[in-house]
Every structure is written in C-alpha cells, then in structure tokens.
Amino acid sequence: MTVERLLKDEATEEKGDRARMASFVGAMAIADLVKTTLGPKGMDKILQSTGRGHNVTVTNDGATILKSLHIDNPAAKVLIDISKVQDDEVGDGTTSVVVLAGELLREAEKLVNKKIHPMTIIAGYRLAAECARNALLQKAKDNKRDPDKFKSDLMKIAMTTLSSKILSQDKEQFAKLAVDAVLRLKGSTNLESIHILKKAGGSLKDSFLDEGFILDKKIGIGQPKHIENAKILVANTAMDTDKVKIYGARVRVDSMAKVAEIEGAEKEKMREKVQKIIAHGVNCFVNRQLIYNFPEELFADAGILAIEHADFEGIERLALVTGGEIASTFDNPESVKLGHCKLIEEIMIGEDKLIHFSGVEMGQACTIVLRGASSHVLDEAERSLHDALCVLSQTVNDSRVLLGGGWPEMVMAKEVDDLARKTPGKKSHAIEAFSHALQAIPTIIADNAGVDSAELISQLRAEHHNDTTNAGIDIISGGVGDMEKLGISESFKVKQGVLLSATEAAEMILRVDEIITCAPRKRENRM
Amino acid sequence: MALAFDEYGRPFIIIKEQGQKARLRGLDAQKANISAGKAVARILRTSLGPKGMDKMLQSPDGDVVITNDGATILEQMDVDNQIAKLMVELSRSQDYEIGDGTTGVVVLAGALLEQAEKLLERGIHPIRISEGYEMASKLSVEHLESISQKFEFSVTNIEPLVQTCMTTLSSKIVNRCKRALAEIAVKAVLAVADLERKDVNLELIKVEGKVGGKLEDTELIYGILVDKDMSHPQMPKRIEDANIAILTCPFEPPKPKTKHKIDIDTVEKFQTLRQQEQNYFDDMVQKCKDVGATLVICQWGFDDEANHLLMHRNLPAVRWVGGVELELIAIATGGRIVPRFQELTTEKLGKAGLVREKSFGTTKDRMLYIEHCANSRAVTIFIRGGNKMMIEETKRSLHDALCVARNLIRNNSIVYGGGSAEISCSIAVEAAADRYPGVEQYAIRSFAEALDSIPMALAENSGLPPIDTLTAVKSQQIKEGNPYCGIDCNDVGTNNMREQNVFETLIGKQQQILLATQVVKMILKIDDVITPAEY
C-alpha cells in the first residue's frame, strides 16, 4: 500500500541523484551565463526589466546581472546569494566567485559519476581550499610601509579592476580618480563620503574629481551666488510653519479676523526662527527639508544663501566636509558648531547649475563628477567606479597584494596539485579536481579574449613550475607575460573572498541529496 | 454502515458516507498510517550522523533553506498527511525538550513502525504490540542508565564540554570550524549558567547573524549586540563607562489617554502652546541629563528637534530598539526600564563598561556593541558567514550545541554515541525478551531490531557496508562486554567511542526512546481515519 499524499498538492520532492543533477545543472547554468563577462575582454549583457517602461541596463558586473534574474532553481539561488555577499563585502570579484563555484561543481559532477561519495569530495575540496589559501598567503606582498609603493599598488589594482569594465579606455584617469578619492578617506571604509554625481553629456574623459563638494541644488532667487569665507549652518528642520505637536490641538475660530491674527502669529513665529538662525552669524544655510517662500525671502533679505531640500546623504556629507553639526534647534547659537569653507559658488556642468563648496576644512569627502554620452553609460560607469572604490578601500585596510592575470589561480593550482600527489585515498581525486577548477578561470579569461586557451594555459603551467615566476596571461599581446612588469595586480582580500565563498557554496550544494519544493504561495487574484 | 436507529426505529446517519469523504478502517488504516510515518522517516534517514547529507527546501515564497537539522526539515516540509504531521510534532517536542537528536528520534520511530507492520501482518493485535514496545522502552531506558557515566567538568576545565559540543556540531555543515564554535557555545552557556541550581536560562544567550565575513569571524560578545546605530550621525561612536537610561516613552509631548481637544482661538493661546511644546523637549533631555545618564536607549523614535537637542547636550541616543532587546539590555546592564520621564532616577540607570558602534563591509551597516555590562549574565553570539543560508544553518547548529551544553550542566550523565548506546540497548532488550511470556515477547524482540536501525543508518551514510559493520560491532560488544563500541563514521581507526570522545547526553537518548515509543503507540492505536471532503 502506498502513501497517496505526504506533501501538499503541488509540492514536489526530488531525491538522490536526481536532486543532485537538478542542483548541478542549475548552478552550472548560472555560471555559464556570467562566464562570458569575465576578464578584460569580457562581453556585456543587456538586461530588460519586466516592470513598466522596460528599462534597459547594460552591464558586465556579475552581481548586477544575477540580481536581476528571476530564478526558480534553488541551487542557482545559492550562487546568486554568494555573489551578492561578495559584492557587499569586497565589492569586486562577483563574477569570478560564481564562475569558480560553477567550475567546482562541474568537476564534482564528474567525480560523482565516477561513484565517489559527495562527502569525500567535500573533504577533498576543504583540504584543497586551505592549501590554496596558504599558497596565496605566502605569495602576497605587503607594501604598506612604503607609501609610494603602496600608492602605485593601489593604482595597479584600480587599473586591473577597471580594465574589465566600460571605463577601460580611460582606465588610467579613472584609476587615479578612484585612488585619490579613497586615499582621502584615510582608512575608513565608509564610501558614503565619496559622492558620485552623474551628468549626461560630454564624454567619459571629461569626468573629474572635485576636491570640494558639489551639491546638486539651485540657489534661491535673489540670493548671493558667490560667497567667500562662508559660514555654513547645516540643519534639519521644518522651514514651513511649525506644526503644533501637542496631541489633540486644533485651530478653531469664529471670525475671519481671528484667522488673520493667527496667521500673523504663525508668520511671526517663522520670522523669529529665521532671526535665530541669522543670529548664528551664518551666511549660508542648508536645510534638509523644504524652505517655504516666506523664510526664503527673509533669508534673501539678510543676504544669506539658503539651500533647501538637500537629501539626507547630502546633508550628512556636507556636515562631514565642512565640519559643522546638523542642527535642528536654534536657541543657543554659541554652542552650535558651524561649518566653514572658503568659497561657495554656482557652477555649470553641462546645462545644469550646481553649487560648489571649495576650500573645505575636512578633506574626507569629495565628489566625483561622471560625464558620459547616455544614462546607460553613466550607470555602468558608476557601477565600475563603485567596484574599484570598494576594492581600493578594502585594500587600504588589508594592504596585501597579489599579481593578476590568472597568476594567483595558477599558483594555487600548482600548490593544490602538489597536495593531491601527497594525499592518499579517494580525496586526492577531489583535490585534483579543485586544481582543474582553479585553472578554468584563466582558461575562460583567455577564451573570452579570443586567444588559444589550451596553448596558453599549458605554457603558463610550464612557467609556473618555476616557483618564483610572475607569469600570467597578457591579453593585449595574447601570450604569456610578466605580470609584475605589466603592472597587473589584484587585492588579496578579493581573491581570498572568491576562493572561500566559492568553496563554501559548492560544498553546500554538494551536501544536498534531496530537494523539497513547497507549493508556491497562491497569489490572490485581484481582478 | 454508519447508520443507527433510534428507539422508534427511525434511521439516522452518524457519518455521511458519500463519495467525497475518504475513510479507511481496520488494518488498512493502520497500514496506511504506518507507511506515511515510514515515508517521513525515510526522508530524514540520510541526514543522520556526521556524514549525513543535507536537504534543500524551497519555501512557498521561494526562499531556499539548506539544512540537516531534522526539526527544521520537517517544519519546512509543508506536510499534508495527518500521521506525517504527528512525526513533525515528535521531532519538534524533542527539539523543545532536549534541542538535539531531532533526526534520530524520527528515524527510530520509523523503524519501530516498520517492525510493527511485520507484526501486524502476523495478526498480532496492535494494542499488544504497543504494550510490548512500552516494556521494551522501559527496559532500554533502565539499561541506558546503567551504562551511563558521570561526566566531570568544572568552570575551569571546560574541555569535556567542548568535546561533547563538537560531537553535535560534527554532523552539521559548520564542522569546518567546529572546535571554535564549540568553545563559543560552551563559554556562552557557562557565562549564563547557574551552577548552584544547575540551571541555564538559554533566553539570556542571544544569537545574532550578519551576512558577510567568514565563519571563523564568529565571536562571542560578553554583552549585547543591537542592530541599530546612533540616532544622530555625529554622536560619539564610543562611550566608556556608560550610564544607560532605558526608556519606553517617546521623546514627544505626552498623549493623554482621555480624549480631549485643545482649541486654539486666540493668538495668546497659540503662543503659550508653542512655549509649552518647547519646554517639553527641554525638560525631557534635562531629566535624562540630571540623573547622570550618558546614553539613552529608547524604544520609540524622536523627531529631529529632540534628536538635535540630545546631540547638543552631548547625550548620545539610540532609537527604535525592539522590546526584546530592550529587556536584554536592562537585564545585562542592571538597569530598569523606565516608562515615564518623571520616574527616571539614578538608581534606575544601567551600567556598561563600553558601548561602541562598529561598521561592516562596504555597505552602510552598523551595529552597536554593549559590553562589560554590570550584570554580565547576558551574552551574544555573533555569527558571520558567506551567505544567509549559511548563517541560518549555523544558528541552528549552535542552538543544538547550546542545548547539549545546557543538558550536561543540568544532568551530567552521558552515554556514548556513534550508535554504541543503541546497539548496547538492543542487546540488552533482546536478551530480556525471552523472559516475557506471551505475544509481547515478539514485540520486544522487534523493538530490539528497530534499535539496530540507527547504527545501521549511520553506517550506511558513512559509506560502510551496513550489515557487516553492525554485526561486527554487535558481536564485539557481546564478546568484550564493552558497551562503548559504535560505528566508526569518520574513519578514525577505532570503534571505541570512549577513545573517540563521541558522546551524547543520557537524558537526550532516553527522551528519544520514550518519545518515539509514545508516538508509535499512538499511531498503532488508530484504526479509523476519516478525512472530510475537500471544499
């Protein structure tokens, strides 16, 4: 007698080999999808959203592509998840992590077909990952002590990161932009204080880093457009008529005259507030909320520059750069810290008027103005720059550096291969497979660049037999080159993140021997 | 026929026997129930032991959970069958009571049902079977008691506890760094344990997770972690020797409960009201300041003005802190939760040695650490991991480890794991069976066989030949009189679990056997299944 129904209707259950197949296929499909974007000659993808307007995004950022996919396969979701985490933690390597996990699973599938138990494969992968990490640790260089060298390391990393993105044409300029911006942060990883402003028009080459701060706002009418030695009050307060906050209060009058009286009182109150603000001795007032016509007029009369409706981040950044505090009450002017800057002026970028604060006290924040032909280009440029900034800020904290161009993968593969030879038992197959998976990454980079990958990888492997080699793939010439001389570097932290997350994800998927899918929650039909 | 006649001979229908109403009776019902129970056990069987596999579960909303925790699998499985639901509850009650062994209990129940089916086919009455099972379970619980050992540990010597937690963790995905996690779990439990009363309040251990970093970055914080940041971006990020005011009242003008209206009809009223309002804020901040608070933690929000006033008076504040966290903070810092500003006094302030804000990764995530609290009884385990699934799974695994450590503090008797306890029980029950006359003897013997299924599943999952391994271990146990022989899952080379340091708590094992027997008895007693028609 069989059980007719153990699970709810529509819930499905897949067991053993079938379950494993389903997750392998799903994971590999995802990896293959983003594979072609890997490396300096990787291609982009067009993503069209299903929402209104069918917005189009052109990108080769792994995390962005994967985020936009609607996936039904649970194993594929695991991969998307790791790419997201990689994005949050280190910002770059989002494609590599998925591709490596996919390759690890591809190798694992072969082993499973050879009747090796998944647990044995996992044990082997773990040993291999540990060994690979140690290999990286040994080879990593740390130039923190030497500021010049460190800066050139950062430049190299930024250029390597940017070379695979849309900015690759002007990578030197952007690398310099990114390095300058990150060095201003002085070790903090808070990228919030780097403001990226996108303005369509011009070309990417016209982008620049501004030492001061640019606020995308207009100056009120009739107010000075140019202030030297500005004292700035940064505020977050309602500049319309204040509401009475006491619960249950309401205005109830019986004649028109009284309405006018109360309106007058309200106006008086506003005037008082403005007076208080003016009493701080400021000549620039920036508010997060709206400033109504009446107070604006008052400010204009007093010759104060009033800027309304700056967004919250703008306010925080402005407070940071000018060294002022964000004020909401104005009763004791002596204790409120005001911000200072040498010059406030209105500038034009393209056709837009912006407010430019220069000569600020604290140099921590800065603005990068991106120019480009279309909004798609700008969006992609912002993403690329963001990746570069993330990697750089992480590198400032953990200054270990590796060479790029497939060099770290080959180094790891060699060490892992050595380990496989030394390890007895079935595990050694898995360790060997790990090394294959590692070598797949340079292979893909080479394939994407249209060079003969089989030839190139075998040459590389031969080179790497020598312990001190700097050989990697030179995409430009299509051969093996010295990475040190070509100046291609990568951050240790990114590589380590890729290695560990990919192994973890592969392990997780390998351990599964049963997939139970619940019935999808019914959407209520709102017709 | 579900038809009866009343005293006047008129028929009335007890149960509508119509096409859409499914009904199973007698042996059919029992067999259907047993096969449902077995099906559930079969799903979990492969997750047993250190080499057990995981299950991937996709929830109705499309979220993916990967786990090998029995209770979690069953909970997420969307089971529709009634008997299967019983099994789900079985593992849940093991989870509540003991916290570990949730897979084992279901596998054991499945094995018992399988044996019962064979007996039923021989025509043995289900009640007799359950009586036999009852006797056998009593026998095995007693036997477990006799082979159990006292387990010595102290606050200074935590090594044995760590070893036990490692056994629990070794079957989970986190076994890569089981040593570190086991130490964290043990230290956490010892920090909150009341060794005098032998009681541990697990509520005091909060397990928090945040995506990112590595599993190795998981840390134990002697204090509390709040997923909030300072209300004003320019407030200090680090406060030493903080005096904390814990408030449940908002920084807002009070809202009287009685319904009222304030009518503004003259300019004077408007102005006095405004004055009043400003005083409120000032008063509130002043009161906090007066009692000497250096940090305000508030359950509610406060508006920009209050925020600035606080910042201005150099009084850092945290807003929107949840009720549970607020209670934990109160316990840890020895403060009192204050519902009204008027009641704020110096004694009611909580004390903490260090409060700091820490940011993570490239995203704008900050968390607040409250450490070196006056009353260090509350601890937080902060888990980092590659992805959300990993963290959830680590949480579950740590929960199991915490429960095991707690159980050992409550009752320090242990039995050895790796299936050795089950094999030993099986031998004892088998031997005792012959002393019972009657049909029950068969049931007791079946019980012994069912107990064998756990080591069998262990061996199977570890890739060992199940029958060979089991019989070898069994004969070794009888020959050497050594109840510590089990299945060598990790290929260490010895099957003496005492040398491998693999053990489980006595109460956990006993509970498994008792609970499994109870559920099986319940299932066997059912002889009629009536399913209402689907609407």
Asked if A518 and B57 come within 8 Å (Cβ–Cβ), the reply is: yes
For residue A102 the two structure tokens come to: 């996919």
Whether residue B534 is predicted with pLDDT greater than 60 in this model: the reply is: no
CATH 3.50.7.10 maps onto chain A at 213-362
pLDDT at B228: 81
Rounded to the nearest integer, the mean pLDDT of chain A is 80
Residue closest to A326 by CA, chosen among A310, A311, A335, A337:
A337
Report the DSSP pairing between strands B262-264 and A249-251. parallel
Domain B21-150+416-532 is found in CATH 1.10.560.10: yes
Residue B249: C-alpha distances to residues B284, B309, B351 (Å): 10, 17, 20
The dihedral through the CA atoms of A72, A78, A79, A84 has a sign that is: positive
Residues 281-300 of B with CB under 8 A from A: 281
Please name the residue ranges forming H helices in A213-311.
256-279, 293-302
Q: Is A80 on the interface with B (CB under 8 A)?
A: no
Which two three-digit tokens encode residue A526? 């709102």
Interface membership of A508 toward B (CB under 8 Å): yes
At residue B231, does pLDDT exceed 80?
no
Tell me if B80 and A5 make a contact (CB, 8 A cut-off): yes
Most confident of A117-121, A327-331, B298-302, B517-521: B517-521
Q: Is B255 on the interface with A (CB under 8 A)?
A: yes
Q: How far is B109 from chain A (nearest CA, A)?
A: 17
Most B-contacting residue of A70, A85, A237, A268 (CB-CB within 10 A), to test interface: A85
Residue B253 distance to chain A (closest CA, Å): 6
pLDDT value of residue B16: 60
Q: Do A1 and B32 touch (CB under 8 A)?
A: yes
Nearest CA to A312 out of A320, A303, A323 is that of A320
Q: Does B212 touch chain A (CB under 8 A)?
A: yes
From A154-158, A515-519, B516-520, the region with the lowest mean pLDDT? A515-519
Q: Where are the domains of chain B?
A: 21-150+416-532, 223-375
| Cα separations in angstroms, A439 against A420, A433, A456, A458 | 15, 10, 11, 10
Helices B26-45/B82-97 angle, 10° precision:
50
Residue B382: HSE in the Cβ half-sphere, 13 Å Cα cutoff: 19
Q: Locate tokens 């059912």: which residue? A: B526
Residues 148-177 of B with CB under 8 A from A: 173, 176
Interface membership of A259 toward B (CB under 8 Å): no
The answer to whether the Cβ–Cβ distance between B51 and A328 falls below 8 Å is no
B322-351 residues touching A, CB cutoff 8 A = none
Residue B137 corresponds to which tokens in the numbers above? 């379970």
Q: What tokens appear for A284 in the block?
A: 């620039």
Render pLDDT for A62-81 as a digit per residue (tens, 0 to 9): 888 888 887 778 888 888 88
When CB atoms are compared, the residue of B58, B60, B308 closest to A74 is B58
Residues in contact with A291: Cβ distance below 8 Å, sequence separation at least 6, in sequence order: A220, A239, A299, A306, A308, A309
CATH 1.10.560.10 domain range(s) in chain A: 12-142+403-517
Residue B522: both structure tokens together: 């319940």
Model confidence, pTM: 0.79
Determine contact, residues A89/A500, Cβ cutoff 8 Å.
no
Q: What is the DSSP string of A441-507?
A: HHHHHHHHTTS-HHHHHHHHHHHTTSTT--EEEETTTTEEEEHHHHT-EEEHHHHHHHHHHHHHHHH
Of B55, B78, B232, nearest to A512 by CB-CB distance is B55
pLDDT for the residue numbered A102: 92
Q: Quick one: A330 exposed, middle or buried, by C-beta within 10 A (0-12, 13-18, 19+)?
A: buried
pLDDT digits 0-9 by tens, A265-317: 777 877 887 888 777 777 788 877 777 777 777 777 777 877 776 666 677 77
**How far is Cα B371 from Cα B333, in angstroms, rounded to an integer?**
9
The identity of residue A24, as a single letter, is: F
What is the C-alpha to C-alpha distance for residues B380 and B396, in angstroms, rounded to an integer?
15
Looking at CATH, the fold of the domain delimited by B223-375 is given as GroEL (3.50.7)
pLDDT digits (tens, 9 = 90+) for A7-19: 666 677 777 788 8
Query: What is residue A1's predicted lDDT score, i.e. its pLDDT?
Result: 39
Q: How far apart are CA B164 and CA B153, in angstroms?
A: 11
Which pLDDT value is given to residue A9?
Answer: 66
**Rounded CA gap, A280 and A350, in Å?**
35
Contact A6 B59 (CB under 8 A): no
Q: Do A335 and B232 touch (CB under 8 A)?
A: no
Residues 6+ apart with CB under 8 A from B461: B46, B48, B49, B51, B52, B53, B489
Instruction: Find where tokens 């004003």 sit.
Output: B232
Q: How would residue B61 be classed by pLDDT, with cut points 50, 70 and 90?
A: confident
Please indicate if any CB of chain A lies within 8 Å of the CB of B217.
no
DSSP B202-246: GGGEEEEEEEBS-GGG-EEESEEEES--BSSTTS-SEEEEEEEEE
On chain A, the residues whose CB falls within 8 A of the CB of B310 are none
Distance from the Cα of B210 to chain A's closest Cα (Å) equals 11
Contact with chain B for residue A254, Cβ under 8 A: yes
E strand segments, A87-163: 141-142
Specify the fold of A12-142+403-517.
GROEL; domain 1 (1.10.560)
Q: Is A152 on the interface with B (CB under 8 A)?
A: no
- DSSP structure class, residue B494: -
B64-100 pLDDT per residue, tens: 888 878 888 888 887 778 888 888 888 888 888 887 7
Structure tokens at A243: 């509401």
Encoded tokens for B257: 């409960």
Distance from CA of B256 to the nearest CA of A (A): 8
Band of the pLDDT at A523, cuts 50, 70, 90? low
Sign of CA dihedral B285, B287, B288, B292: positive
Distance between CA atoms of residues A254 and A249, nearest Å: 16
In 3D space, the residue among B409, B385, B27, B495 whose CA is nearest the CA of residue B185 turns out to be B409
Percent of chain A exceeding pLDDT 90 equals 7
Q: List the 434-473 stretch of A: residues with Cβ below 8 A of B.
A: none
Q: Chain A to chain B, count of Cβ pairs less than 8 Å apart?
A: 231
Structure tokens at B495: 């099957």
User: Are the beta carbons of B463 and A117 separated by less than 8 Å?
Assistant: yes
A19 contacts B56? CB cut-off 8 A: yes
Chain A: give the shortest CA distance to residue B503, in Å: 22
| A290 contacts chain B (CB < 8 A) | no
- The answer to whether residue B274 neighbours chain A at the CB level (below 8 Å) is yes
Using a CB-CB cut-off of 8 Å, the residues of chain B touching A261 are 266-267
Q: Does A255 touch chain B (CB under 8 A)?
A: no
Tokens 């001190």 sit on residue: A468
Q: Which pLDDT band holds residue B448 (cuts at 50, 70, 90)?
A: very high
Strands B54-58 and B64-67: antiparallel
Per-residue three-class SS string for B355-376: EEEEEECCCCEEEEEEEEECCC
Burial call A404-442: b when 16+ CB within 10 Å, e when fewer: bbbbbbbbbbbbbbebbeebeebbbbbbbbbbbbbbbbb
Q: What is the pLDDT of residues B180-209, one digit of tens each?
A: 888 888 888 888 887 777 778 777 788 888
Average pLDDT of span B125-147? 91
Contact criterion met (CB below 8 Å) for B56 and A517:
no
pLDDT digits (tens, 9 = 90+) for A162-185: 877 777 777 888 888 888 888 877
∠ CA(B188), CA(B73), CA(B53), 5° rounding?
Answer: 85
So what's the pLDDT on residue A334?
Answer: 66
Tokens of A231: 């004292």
**Does the beta carbon of B146 lie under 8 angstroms from any beta carbon of chain A?**
no
Mean pLDDT of B244-267: 74
Helix axes A407-422, A118-139, angle to 10 degrees: 130
Comparing C-alpha atoms, which of A309, A294, A153 is closest to residue A219?
A309
Nearest CA to A367 out of A182, A192, A197 is that of A197
Q: Does B384 touch chain A (CB under 8 A)?
A: no
| B492 and A CB contact within 8 Å | no
Q: Would you name the residues of B annotated as active-site residues?
A: 69, 102-103, 400
Between A433 and A370, the higher pLDDT residue:
A433
Could you tell me if the ipTM is greater than 0.85? no
* Sign of the torsion angle spanned by Cα atoms B176, B179, B184, B188: positive
Which residue of chain B comes nearest to A5, CA vs CA? B81
Does the pLDDT value for residue B472 go beyond 70?
A: yes
| Lowest mean per-residue pLDDT among A219-223, A406-410, B65-69, B224-228 | A219-223
A260 touches chain B (CB under 8 A): no
Which secondary structure element, helix H or strand E, spans residue B298, and what is its range? strand B295-298
Residue of A nearest to B274 (CA): A244
**Which residues of A are marked as active site?**
61, 94-95, 387
Token pair of A32, please? 């293959």
Could you tell me where the DSSP H helices lie in B46-177?
70-76, 82-97, 102-121, 126-147, 159-169
- pLDDT digits over A109-156, tens only? 999 998 888 888 888 998 899 899 999 888 888 877 788 888 888 888
Residue A43 predicted with pLDDT over 60? yes
pLDDT in tens, A388-428: 888 888 888 788 888 888 888 889 999 999 999 998 888 89
pLDDT score, position A335? 67
Best mutation target among A18, A78, A492 (most B Cβ atoms within 10 Å) is A78
For testing contact with chain A, the best of B27, B51, B58 (most A CBs within 10 A): B58
CB < 8 Å to A335, chain B: 312
Q: Do A78 and B387 touch (CB under 8 A)?
A: yes
The whole-number pLDDT of residue A104 equals: 93
Domain A213-362 architecture: 3-Layer(bba) Sandwich (3.50)
- DSSP tally for chain A: helices H, then strands E: 16, 20
CB < 8 Å from A in window 436-465 of B: 463
B363: pLDDT strictly greater than 60: no
